[in-house]
A and B are shown apart, each in its own frame.
Chain A
């Protein structure tokens, strides 16, 4: 049976790859894609979401969410994802428009109202989820699990202590960790192990037309160039790791820990504070991914990309 999911994202170069994977998977029933301000502004991530769904020719509704973090000004990651959020890639104008329903209302409608348990996958700042939890206390009953790309046990990336998605909206992240919904945290400890070499990226396929493989490869090459400049072995697949963890949970190894988020630090705001030595006495609230089977991950991405081999169009 397919897992009903909603993907909340801020495309975003690696978000794009993640969406390409999710929309090709037989294991996932993507009920909706919701966008949030993060890697780029709310307007840009929404348009990018529409363009990606349109380009891949999928019938999945897209809804917009928060324009800003819940209590702070927006900090985008334009230096990583480019001016449009899509690096150098230019996709055709979308054939669809976003829903009038806001992201948080859609979460509630598709889960509690439709009486279906939804697995929520978050690839950006957690503003939409926090707003949904504040507006609909009953949402907890509709979300079976949240798998998030975000946080780190060890070092951060946006600051020494904090990973970008949590750093961008720490108050929202704290609300989500405190919500009681089962959480799988796919943070940097895990995603930094999920890299693709240039050869592995090329081996995804040799599209002669612009299709899903082409789109993913362009983003992978962009990330490869960026990441290797910073000393990483290959293209780091942050958001795709979270998708992979939902499609095949055996790819990741997790430990149950209590996690909260620092919102008041001078140097540590946005840090996911993970009680690895269990000194707080608090019950674990998250499965924290510490390892990913890199070979298995690469195989999964390859397999999903194959689905795009027939089809595609010129643009």
Chain B
């Protein structure tokens, strides 16, 4: 049976790939897509999600706009990485369907509380929507199977020396989510920096020829420019990891550890503090993903994009 999920995202190049991967999967049943301010402002991330889905011919799944800013902080965005629109690169027509008439939280509540099976949440942006859900619909907690998220890092950050972007943008939301007691899979920079795609693989995707494959290759062309400037050989495919872990967990290795979120640090706010050596005595709350079989992961993506042809 397909695992019912909600994608909560801020597209974003790698979010777009994560969406396409999730919708192509025979293992996953995407019940809803919610968007959040992060890589770009919330109006743009909503529009981007809907443009990608429209382009791929997915028009029958509700898409709802979520938080425009973090719980108690100003929004930080990442135009350096994703461009002015948040999805620079390919030409994408405007959405061919209307968004869900209500907010992301109302959509999540409807899906979660009406589902017989527990729902898995897949956040690939700041955790503002998920924290808001837990704060405002506390009974939803028992109906959530797991949260497989892209965010954080056991060692080092990318936006500051200590913090990864998604957690940095809304550390208070992340703190609520990690303290919720819901099982968490954390695909952080430890694994996503190993999930790089290289130029020849982008060409291989392009040469698959389908319109989705070509569009993905154009997204990756733009994404690669930024990462090459930083000295990366390839581009880390952050967000697809959180989806791929649900489809093929056997491709990944993880450790079950306690994670706290730093919200008060002068230089470390947004750090996911991973108790690797068990010195806090606190019970593990997170499967921290450290490694993956990169080639098999890229193959999974390629096969998934091909399905749209």
Interface range on chain B (Cβ under 8 Å from partner) = 20 to 34
- State A265–B265 Cα separation when bound (angstroms): 4
Q: Is A249 an interface residue when CB atoms closer than 8 A count as contact?
A: no
Contact for A264 among B162, B265, B273, B275, CB less than 8 A: B265
- The answer to whether B161 touches A280 (Cβ under 8 A) is yes
A residues in contact with B260, CB < 8 Å: 160, 266-267
Of the residues B266, B277, B280, contact of A230 by C-beta under 8 Å: B277
Q: Is A136 an interface residue (CB 8 A)?
A: no
- Measured between beta carbons, the chain A residues less than 8 angstroms from B159 are 279
**B247-268, CB < 8 A from A:** 258, 260-268
- Measured in the bound complex, the distance between the Cα atoms of B280 and A157 in whole Å is 10
Cα distance A208–B273 when bound, in Å? 48
Contact A268 to B162, CB < 8 A, known contacts A160-B260, A262-B267, A277-B230: yes
- Known A157-B279, A160-B279, A276-B156; contact A265-B264, beta-carbon cutoff 8 A: yes
A156-176 CB mask vs B (1 if < 8 Å, else 0) is 111111000000000000000
The reply to whether B161 and A276 form a contact with Cβ atoms under 8 Å apart is: yes
Find out whether the CB atom of A266 lies under 8 angstroms from the CB atom of B162.
no
Q: Is B244 an interface residue (CB 8 A)?
A: no
Q: Contact at A266–B264, with CB atoms within 8 Å?
A: yes
Residues of B within 8 A of A258 (CB): 161
Name A138-161 residues within 8 Å CB distance of B: 153-161
* A179 within 8 A of partner (CB): no
Q: Which of B156, B162, B267, B277 contacts A160 (CB 8 A)?
A: B277
| List of A residues within 8 angstroms of B161 by Cβ | 258, 273-277, 279-280
Q: Is B160 touching A279 in the complex (CB atoms < 8 A)?
A: yes
> Pick the contact of A265 from B258, B266, B279 — CB < 8 Å?
B266
CB distance from A226 to the nearest CB of B (A): 13
Whether B50 sits at the interface, judged by CB under 8 Å, is no
Cβ of A28 to closest chain B Cβ, rounded Å: 33
**B274 an interface residue at 8 Å Cβ cutoff?**
yes
A222-260 with Cβ < 8 A to chain B: 230, 258, 260
Partner of B160, one of A154, A155, A230, A280: A280
> Which secondary structure dominates where chain A touches chain B?
loop
Bound together, the chains give a CA A158 to CA B279 distance in angstroms of 7
Which residues of chain A come closer than 8 Å to B265, judged between CB atoms?
Answer: 262, 264-266, 268-269, 271
A76 CB within 8 Å of chain B: no
Contact across chains for A260 and B267 when beta carbons are under 8 A apart: yes
A-side contacts of B111, CB under 8 Å: none
B contact residues around A287 at 8 Å (CB): none
Chain B CB within 8 A of A54 CB:
no
The residue on B at minimum CB distance from A257 is: B161
Q: Is the CB of B271 within 8 A of A155?
A: no
| B276 interfacial by beta-carbon distance below 8 Å | yes
Q: How far is the CA of A154 from the CA of B274 in the complex (A)?
A: 10
A160 touches B280 (CB 8 A): yes
CB distance from B170 to the nearest CB of A (A): 16
Within 8 Å by CB of B262, from A153, A155, A266, lies A266
Tell me, in angstroms, the Cα distance from A269 to B162 when the chains sit together.
12
> With an 8 A cutoff between CB atoms, is A263 at the interface?
yes
Task: Name which residue of chain A comes closest to B268, CB basis.
Answer: A268
B180 at the interface (CB under 8 A from A): no
> Is B300 located at the chain interface by the 8 A CB criterion?
no
How many whole Å from A216's CB to the nearest CB in chain B? 26
In the bound complex, what is the Cα–Cα distance between A137 and B158 (angstroms)?
35
Chain A residues with CB under 8 A of B162? 262, 268, 271, 273
Q: Which residues of A contact B267 (CB under 8 A)?
A: 260-262, 273
A279→B263 CA distance, assembly (Å): 20
15 sampled A-B residue pairs with Cβ under 8 A: A155-B155, A160-B275, A160-B277, A161-B262, A161-B271, A264-B266, A265-B262, A266-B265, A268-B271, A269-B265, A271-B265, A271-B268, A273-B267, A276-B156, A277-B161
Sorted nearest first, the 5 A-B pairs with minimum C-beta distance are A265-B265, A268-B268, A160-B275, A275-B161, A267-B273
With contacts A262-B162, A265-B265, A267-B261 known, what are 9 further pairs, Cβ within 8 A?
A160-B273, A161-B268, A161-B271, A263-B266, A264-B265, A271-B271, A273-B161, A277-B157, A279-B161
